[in-house]
Amino acid sequence: MTIWGTDEVAAEVLVDQDAMFRVAQPVFLEAIRAIDSVATPPAGTDQQKFDAKFDYLKQRLGIPDDVVEPLREEFRAAWAQSISLNDRLSSTIPDMHRQFEKLRKQAATDARIEANKQGADAFTVLEKTQTGLRLKIEAIGAGMPLGDQDTLARAETGRLLGDCLLDWRKP
């Protein structure tokens, strides 16, 4: 084992924004990184409405299986990751979790306003939501590594689909 003194630390360690975030929010980062392997929502989660959206693409709009199924599973995994992340954050760092919950609503509202503007392309609401989430996350998580910001935005987009707030079915 090597014990470093202040000179070695100063010479060998890069103290940048990422490093500061790792020191300040180790539990947050640990929670984000722990969800990578989660692929399915917990037992008992009602997935009927989630699946109905993708069935609609196939059955009503005639989109082929090989296009719809990979999308269905990618978004299902993202939704499952958001459930797991929320469980972890609410039981470990509730203050940070509450901030995170607030920014979801703000990001969704911003995305809807953007998508509803005259001349805006309504089809891009999904992309606007993802980008909006990413920007909000950047605002509260200054220094959070970019890969982790992406994981969070991805999980939250999945959650919007899983919670049925994002939809494309016509009655």
Partner 1 sequence: MSDAVARLTAVLREADATPTLQADAVTFSATYDPVYRAAVIALTLRAAGKKDSEAAFTLPDLKLRLFQFVAVHTQLLPSLRGWVNEHKSGRRPSLDGWARFPRGYAADTLYERLTDYLCATGELQRLKNSYVRMPSAPKSYLGTLVAAADAEEAFQAERAAITEVAGLGITLDMLRS
Binding residues vs partner 1 (CB under 8 A): 27, 44, 56-57, 61-63, 67-68, 71, 74-75, 78, 86-88, 90-95, 97-98, 101-102, 104-105, 108-109, 111-112, 115, 122-127, 129-130, 150, 153-154, 157-158, 160, 165-170
Of 4 and 94, nearer to partner 1 (C-beta) is 94
Q: What's 54's DSSP letter?
A: H
Of 15 and 23, nearer to partner 1 (C-beta) is 23
Cα separation, 30 vs 15, in Å, equals 19
**Tokens standing for 9?**
């630390």
Rounded to 5 degrees, what angle do the CA atoms 95, 100, 104 make? 150
Rounded least distance, CB 148 to partner 1, Å: 13
* CA-wise closest residue to 149 among 161, 132, 166: 132
Of 10 and 49, nearer to partner 1 (C-beta) is 49
